[in-house]
Each structure stands twice: as C-alpha cells, then as structure tokens.
Amino acid sequence: MARLLFLQEVAFEYVGVMCLSAYIKSRGHQCDILIESEEGKDFWAKVKDYKPDAAAFSAMTGSHVHYLQMAAQVKEKLDVPIIFGGPHATFFPEMIESPVIDAVCRGEGEEAVVDFLNAVENGGDFSAIPNLWTKQNGVIIRNDVRCGENQLDNYPPADRSIYYKYKYLRNYPTKPFITGRGCPYLCTFCFNRDFNQMYRGKMKILRRISPQNVIAEITGCKAKYPLKKIFFNDDIFIMQKDWLEEFAPLYRKEIGIPYACNVRANLVDEDRVKLLKESGCYLVMWGIESGDEKRRREILGKNISDEQIRKAAALFRQYGIKMKSFNIMGSPGETLEEAVKTIKLNAEVKIDYPWCSILQPYPRTKIAEIAEEQGVLKKDYSLDDMHKSFFANSVLNQGEMIRIERLQKLFYLGVKLPGLIPLFTWMTKYPLGLLFKLLFGTSFLYRFAREVDIPLYKAVLFALRHRKSY
C-alpha cells in the first residue's frame, strides 16, 4: 500500500482530484490532499507528518509555476517521487524536463496513477506505464496514452472526504458534480480538439455516468455534508437528450435541489429547457464569446448563429431559468466596434450574469496559430509570456487592444446599463487605470454575489481567499 499526497495552493475542490482519490483508494492505496491556503504555517509540517510515498500536483496552465516551486520544496524536504497531472501536464508533458518531476501523466489518470503507485510500492520501474512521461538515466521516455474507460459507471463516486476535512469547503453551500466527460466541439481557444485527437480510436469522445449512479452519488453527499445547490461541471450537460429525459424525473423525485449546468445554444430546444426547469435547474451557463457572428464562427470556432443565441435566451427567459454567459474580448484582429457588439448582444438577450475575459492564447491552441498567422503574436511566444489571470492585459499586439482591454473592465456594467455603452466606449480613450480596475472589481464581486446568492461581504471574503487565482 502506497501513500499519495496531493498538494494544492488554494481552497477549491477539483472533481478530477476527487475522482482520482476514489479510484486510488478502491485499488488499495491511500490518498489525501493538503491545501496551502488552509494550513497556513503548518502546511509543510503536515506534509512531513503524512509521510507520503509520492507527491502529486494537478495543475492548470498558469498555476503550474507555483506548483513547480512547491515540488522543489517537496524534493528538498522529503525526496519522494513526484507526479504531475491535469490540463497543463497533458498538453505540455515536456515539463518532465524539470529535475524535480519524476513522472507526468497525460490524459485521464485513474489507471496510470494506480500503476505508478504500484511501482512506487514495489520499488520498481514506472518508466513503461502508459500515459506517463518519465526519465531514465537522463533520457525522457514518452509513453502513449492507453485506451480510455468508456463505461464511467465502472469508476467509484468521487471521494469528497479529502476536501471536506476543511470546514470552508465542507460548509460551502454549492458543490460540484460531474455526470460525464468529453466535448465534441472544436473551439479554437480550447484544448478539447487536441485532447480528442490524442484519444482518437482509443475512447469515445462523450461518456456519461448513468442517471441512477449520479443520483446515488448526490444522495450520499447530501446525507453527509451541507448541500443547498449543485453545479454540474460537465462541458455540455444537455448533449444527450435521451440521457436528460431519464435523468430529469429521477433527479426531481430523489434530489430536488436547485442546480446549475453548462449548455450550448445550438442544442437548446423547448423540450430540453422544459426538462431542465421541471427537474430543478435554476441557472444555465453558456458561451456567447463574441457579439460578431463572423468572428464567433471563423476566429473562435464557435459555429453558433446570433439567431440560435436569441432563440435559446428567449426559451430560458420563458421558463424562468437564469443565464450566465462567457465572453472573450481581444481575439486576433478584433476591433473596438466588434467588442462593443459583444456587450450589446449580451444586453439584448438579457443575460443575468454576464462574464468576460481577455483572450489568453494558450500555446498550441488553434487560436494561438491564428494570432501568429495574423502577425499579432510573436513567433517565439511561450508560457512565460502568459498572464496568470485572464482578466489581465492581452499579449496580442494589435490596433485597438488597449481600448478593448479597458472596455472589458466595463463589460458587466455595459450589459446591465446598455444606455451607457456610448459613454463607456468613450471612456476607453483615456488611461483611467485605477478607475477601470475599481469598476471591474466592484461589478465582478456584485455579479458573483448575485449569481451564487450570498451577501456581498461573503463575496469579498471569497475573493480575498482566492485572490491568487485572479
């Protein structure tokens, strides 16, 4: 039996880590997590006290920088094998070149991590494990991914105990669940196209947990922990209509807790919206991305029309379901006029909780290729050039970007006060940096407080707790 310890920077529960922990424990090993922000000065003492046989980090691009620093300290203090996984490791496996990393897991990690722990336990060699990139005598070994699991019911429910030992996470009223994995769409700013290519012929693109098993997991969580609202973290919750038809009445009967989920405008029809409403959905989240249809289709790869967005929004309003939108400003070649159209479209369809970021063109995404082709992104662009926050400045060098950056800070106010859009557009002519930051921060916290239905002061406390993430 090997002991694996995940290390994490801030208090946020990742469903992927909980799923890995559950699978690891089901195969006879031990697993836990320690969160730096929650442990404070006792963090490293508790890491030592756990006596891990291996340490793990699940990293997104941006957070990987801090986690590499933490990994170096683990090596210095404990000298145990270190494995990295998550989105960053999957798409930038060359991070194995770091002297503090012993293995990098690409793709889905359940079987690979258990194989890794089996090898650690036996003092053996983990250099031939599928999904892992490792090093041996200074030579990098690049193993291909194995066939993925198509039957998600074969996996145990997520292990929430590793996170809910922390009072803050245990008592937080909204908790995340997943009912499936995968997305078939090819948005240029997303890694899904590369993930699907990596698993081509080895795994179905979209896999779901049976409605019965989803209900069983929620029931178990509800019996042990505070649970007032649920967020289904699937990329597109409404993808399979037959699954939704089976799930909705079962959820309404057995659970009945309000929930939020991700949808996509081209899949929205009245049957689906009615099923969502009747089963308890109070909020849908979806990507509008740009108010310019040509840009949305050709640059962002989101093959959705303005009319589909308008029809979907009208149905959600008709059935009384709130809407949160995701939007991107500063894509390659975007003009200020196009950015203003994004605010106007969100205002027109009456988005309740509009959200907007500045494009961060992750290396190796299609959007980064487009930016390079247009000459607005330097050829040697790398992860070191990226901002950790997607609310920061743009890395693209193009015409009206400074004004677009300023407009993004006023996005929420523009959607909610469309009559002031001309004023906000005019304001972007001037370097009112502190004012823009103040208006953005205030409106962001106000939107968040309304969205999750908490007092504003609690939203401020949440922001302070997670300030490193923004």
311 and 257 co-located in one domain: yes
**Angstrom distance (rounded) from CA 222 to CA 208:** 21
Model confidence at 468, in pLDDT bands (50, 70, 90)?
low
Average the pLDDT over 423-438 and give the result. Answer: 97
**Angstrom distance (rounded) from CA 400 to CA 398:** 6
Mean pLDDT of the chain: 95
375 and 453 co-located in one domain: yes
166 domain-assigned: no
Instruction: Give 358's contacts (C-beta < 8 A, 6+ positions apart).
Output: 328, 329, 330, 387, 390, 391, 392, 393, 394, 405, 408
**Signed CA dihedral, 195, 197, 198, 200: sign only:** positive
244 and 117 co-located in one domain: no
133 and 180 co-located in one domain: no
**Angstrom distance (rounded) from CA 34 to CA 220:** 23
**Angstrom distance (rounded) from CA 297 to CA 311:** 18
**Predicted local confidence at residue 469, as pLDDT:** 55
Look at residues 142, 162, 187 and tell me which one is the last residue of a structural domain. Answer: 142
CATH number at residue 9: 3.40.50.280
303 and 452 co-located in one domain: yes
Look at residues 122, 142, 162 and tell me which one is the last residue of a structural domain. Answer: 142
Model confidence at 378, in pLDDT bands (50, 70, 90)?
confident
Domain of 70 in residue numbering reads as 3-142
243 and 323 co-located in one domain: yes
**Predicted local confidence at residue 467, as pLDDT:** 65
**Predicted local confidence at residue 470, as pLDDT:** 52
152 domain-assigned: no
Average the pLDDT over 250-275 and give the result. Answer: 98
314 and 413 co-located in one domain: yes
Average the pLDDT over 155-160 and give the result. Answer: 98
Model confidence at 182, in pLDDT bands (50, 70, 90)?
very high
316 and 368 co-located in one domain: yes
C-alpha dihedral (279, 211, 228, 273), degrees to nearest 10? -30
268 and 361 co-located in one domain: yes
**Predicted local confidence at residue 376, as pLDDT:** 96
**Angstrom distance (rounded) from CA 346 to CA 249:** 32
102 and 233 co-located in one domain: no
162 domain-assigned: no
Do 24 and 31 touch, CB atoms closer than 8 A?
yes
Q: Are strands 207-208 and 180-181 parallel, antiparallel or unpaired?
A: antiparallel
User: Taking 80 as the threshold, does the pLDDT of residue 385 lie above it?
Assistant: no
161 domain-assigned: no
Report how many domains make up the chain: 2
Average the pLDDT over 351-375 and give the result. Answer: 95
Closest by CA position to 170, among listed 219, 218, 216, 224: 224
229 and 116 co-located in one domain: no
User: Taking 90 as the threshold, does the pLDDT of residue 43 lie above it?
Assistant: yes
154 domain-assigned: no
Do 456 and 364 touch, CB atoms closer than 8 A?
no
176 and 131 co-located in one domain: no
Strand order through the sheet with 353-358: 174-177, 229-232, 259-262, 281-289, 322-329, 353-358
Contacts for 284-287: CB closer than 8 Å, 24+ residues apart: 284/260, 284/316, 284/321, 284/322, 284/323, 284/324, 285/260, 285/261, 285/323, 285/324, 285/325, 285/326, 286/262, 286/312, 286/323, 286/324, 286/325, 286/326, 287/187, 287/325, 287/326, 287/327
216 domain-assigned: yes
**Angstrom distance (rounded) from CA 231 to CA 176:** 5
Look at residues 142, 158, 183 and tell me which one is the last residue of a structural domain. Answer: 142
160 domain-assigned: no
151 domain-assigned: no
Instruction: Give 156's contacts (C-beta < 8 A, 6+ positions apart).
Output: 22, 23, 25, 26
User: Taking 70 as the threshold, does the pLDDT of residue 206 lie above it?
Assistant: yes
- The predicted-structure confidence for 209-256, as pLDDT tens digits, reads as follows 999 999 999 999 999 999 999 999 999 999 999 999 999 999 999 999
Average the pLDDT over 188-212 and give the result. Answer: 95
**Predicted local confidence at residue 138, as pLDDT:** 86
